[in-house]
Amino acid sequence: MAGEVEQEDHPTEEIITKEKLGSKKLSWQNNLRRFDSFDIESRTISGSRHGFNVKKWSMILHLAFQSIGIVYGDIGTSPLYVYASTFSNGVKHEDDILGAFSIIFYTITLSTLVKYIFIVLRATDNGDGGTFALYSLICRYAKVGMTPSEQAEDNNISNFQLELPSKRLKRATWVKSRLEKSNFAKYFLLLFTMLGTSMLIGDGIFTPCISVLSAVGGIKEATPAMTQDRIVWISAVILIGVFMVQRFGTDKVGYTFSPILILWFALIGGIGLYNFIKFDPIVIKALNPKYIAEYFIRNKKEAWISLCGTVLSITGAEALFADVGHFTVRSIQISTCTITYPAIILAYAGQSAFLRKHPDLVSSAFYKSIPGPLYWPMFVVAVLAAIIASQSLISGTFSIVQQSLSLGCFPRVKIVHTSTNYKGQVYIPEINYLLMVACVAVTLGFRSSVQIGNAYGLAVVFVMMITSCLLVLIMVMIWKTHILLIILYIVTIGAMELVYLSSVLYKFDQGGYLPLVFAAVLMAIMLVWNNVYRRKYNYEFDHKISPAKVNDIVNNMTLLRMPGIALFYSDLVHGIPPIFKHYVGNVPALHSVLVFVSSKSLPISKVPLEERFLFRRVEPKELNVFRCVARYGYRDSHKESEPFEKMLVEKLKEFIKTDLLLSRCDIRVPVAEIDQEELSNDRLVNGGDQIEDENVEHAKEEIKQLQDEVLEREIERVDKAWNYGVVHLIGESEVFAGPGARLGKRILIDYVYNFLERNLRQSVQGFDIPHRRMVKVGMTYEL
């Protein structure tokens, strides 16, 4: 590449002036520049999308098949309990069935199909979904992030060029500006995102409980002797089994579950079509929304309360977005439109037709509407489908916890990547066990799918409303959607969700309080961790060591320089962490090559491996001191196919080569600055303002030879240090509230945060660091 540059940019017949040399230096640097993921994701250049950019239809169909076993269990099993929850006091008028079916039909169509499949899935962050994906997308387009990676000191890392709003769309610019200037808006947006994340985790608790209880409860229809206590305990055992198989990963679980779910959808769709034709095809009239109005006029408050039941028809819709990182947008759209949506609508249509003739059987409508010969096969498949229903939100919970962890909003937990083909498929042991305990506790405590449904409905509606609010911000700032379309979304889908929220809040004291309790606990943990995380970063930044101080420390005559490479790990991106001075003060010896490494999570989902490391040299060059930022997206694994230290050293050598190659462009004139012993005396022409072509060519060749020698020596020095070995120096900072701190701050830092810190995983476990070459350096921070 360098040869091509020199051949192109070295003219043979013109005089090179200072200005021309300056412009050619810029040209060389532009040619040497490697566009990275920031440019691609911001659409400033054309480029391929990293991660899931699957274009072969065979792979898309393969993922669509696999997604059925992971994503749709929850929403697919909702026909088990929706009508029983909607008419908990019985059906009072035969046309109430038409009204309820009409509500269910338009709720599923508007929320699941229109909102999630055709709108929300467009808002994926480089292929990943969930509440934090929406938040990170907003943070990249407006400086509203509350994590250290969004601070001004990190501009050279985090602030990449984005497609700014068009001047013609002043609305987008105004909203963006207001958000960036308001600290309240920034905190509110972060809290709002944490609330949505906490509620989605709550979904992961309630989904298994209500699905398994409802399915197992069907055995009462065949064996009246089966008591509710036995049903509850059987359900608890099944739930434990569901969580125990999670460690095998989404890939294997999806392959196992998908055929069962396809059979389930075929059965409920076929039975629904059979009942629709046999009992009352006239329920097709429910497509007319006038039956919704008549239903509310006839039943008034009771109709409004019954919405707590109909909202359960879209439980699991959020999983379509939360789980998209495990698959692709196109695969989710195909499986929804071709299998899931038609089967569910037919199932509800069949139950509606059945209930028009047998309204007294509404409490067990699903099992009573099954033709006799199919009862036991359907019961077995229903139980299996209910087990699988748990999978959608469990997988979604793993995904959003990984996202929040990478953005500094969740305590450190172990992330296990369960698939070598799809990096989005993860398993988190700690979260899995906590979900299992919570699910068993809720099942044993509530014992009824109706009460669990009250709690479940509140969690579902809260998550959907939070998604809608963030989506509207994205429509305004990023997509720059026409204002009429935004208003249309708000007055249809937004209004529908607001009505549902008012209904589920009515049953707050009948179980609706539980998801808010769960959310409050999770939000408290996330807020404490994020708050102290930012305080620690700010402390390190305020006490960072200047380059001049590093120069003094390294050049200290009493300090021993020994062969080898030392990697100092820190969260600080911009500068040398204070723990370095603390280390040198206790161990007066340093390795020949020093690299200060900071791991940085960016508000994007993935950073390509070739762009993982960003290096800078600490001057002067003779120190052999470098700063390195290891950049990760919130979906990236910190454990790559090769050892971390090997990748870092290889990228360091590439940086040294590129750095010296760029310095070749820096031809200084007059040439009096060049070593006079190495160059001939006839360098200067016309008083040093211009240089003859042949002399410039000769000077550049000599400079190139000198720089090749320097490059060879530097690479040899790094290789020699690598052969001697690498030592990993880990900063173990202990934090305490500073003198004079208020009681609340002391409790926050000294007790709550330190309790979480002591009982969770250490930060170094995220890297592939050999323990036999790891040295921990302790230091106390007073925040």
Q: Set out the domains of the chain in order of their start, with CATH numbers.
A: 57-148+169-533 (1.20.1740.10), 546-664+700-782 (no CATH)
Is 773 within 8 Å of 525 (Cβ atoms)?
Answer: no
Least confident of 119-128, 267-276, 464-473: 119-128
pLDDT at 677: 44
Contacts of 437 (CB under 8 A, 6+ apart): none
Question: What integer pLDDT is reported at residue 249 of this predicted model?
Answer: 65
CA distance 654 to 718: 11
Tokens of 68: 């059925």
The average pLDDT across 636-653 equals 74
Most confident stretch, 527-541, 731-745, 764-778: 527-541
For residue 106, what pLDDT is reported?
95
- Rounded to whole angstroms, the Cα distance separating 334 from 340 reads 9
**Better-scored residue on pLDDT, 48 or 505:** 505
Residue 163 binned pLDDT confidence (cut-offs 50, 70, 90) = very low
List CB contacts of 199: < 8 A, sequence separation 6 or more. 459, 462, 463, 466, 515, 519
* pLDDT bracket for residue 159 (50, 70, 90): very low
Q: Is the pLDDT of residue 252 over 70?
A: no
Q: Would you state the pLDDT for residue 11?
A: 34
pLDDT, tens digit, 9 for 90 and up, residues 382-432: 888 877 777 666 777 787 787 777 777 788 777 776 665 555 567 788 888
Q: How many other C-beta atoms are found inside a 10 Å radius of the C-beta of residue 39? A: 17
Kindly give, in sequence order, each residue whose CB lies less than 8 Å from that of residue 361, ignoring residues fewer than 6 positions away.
354, 355, 368
Helix (H) or strand (E) holding 625: strand 625-632
DSSP string over 509-565: GGTTHHHHHHHHHHHHHHHHHHHHHHHHHHHHHHTPBPHHHHHHHHT-TTSEEEEEE
Measured in Å, how far apart are the chain's first and last C-alpha atoms? 50
Of 722 and 250, more confident:
722
Kindly report the number of other CB atoms within 10 A of residue 55's CB atom. Answer: 9
Residue bearing tokens 């006079």: 676
At 548, phi and psi to the nearest 5?
Answer: -65, -40
Instruction: Output the pLDDT for position 372.
Output: 82
- Is the model's pLDDT at 547 over the cut of 60? yes
User: Considering the chain, what percentage of its residues have pLDDT values greater than 90?
Assistant: 13
Confidence band for 234, pLDDT divided at 50, 70 and 90 = confident
What does the DSSP assignment read for 200-242?
HHHHHHHHHHHHHHHHHGGGGGT-TT--HHHHHHHHHHHHHHH
When pLDDT is cut at 50, 70 and 90, the band that residue 674 belongs to is very low
Banded pLDDT at 271 (limits 50, 70, 90): very high
Residue 153 burial (10 A CB sphere; 0-12, 13-18, 19+):
middle
Six-digit token pair at 335?
């499986």
Residues 6+ apart with CB under 8 A from 12: 693
Q: What angle do CA 139, 141, 147 make, to 5 degrees?
A: 20
Provide mean pLDDT across the span 618-635: 77
Instruction: Please tell me the predicted confidence (pLDDT) of residue 767.
Output: 60
**Highest mean predicted confidence (pLDDT) among 162-166, 642-646, 691-695:** 642-646
- Strand duo 726-736 + 625-632: pairing: unpaired
Token duo for residue 93: 């008028």
pLDDT, average across residues 739-744? 79
Q: Supply 483's token pair.
A: 């204002």
% of the chain surpassing 70 pLDDT = 77
Q: What tens digit of pLDDT does each residue of 99-158 get?
A: 999 999 999 999 999 999 999 988 887 777 777 778 878 877 777 766 654 544 344 434
The overall pTM is greater than 0.85: no
Return the closest-CA partner of residue 331 out of 76, 60, 70: 60
pLDDT for res 27: 42
What is the rounded average pLDDT for all residues in the chain?
75
Split at pLDDT 50, 70, 90, the class of 28 is very low
| Of 45 and 644, the one with more pLDDT | 644
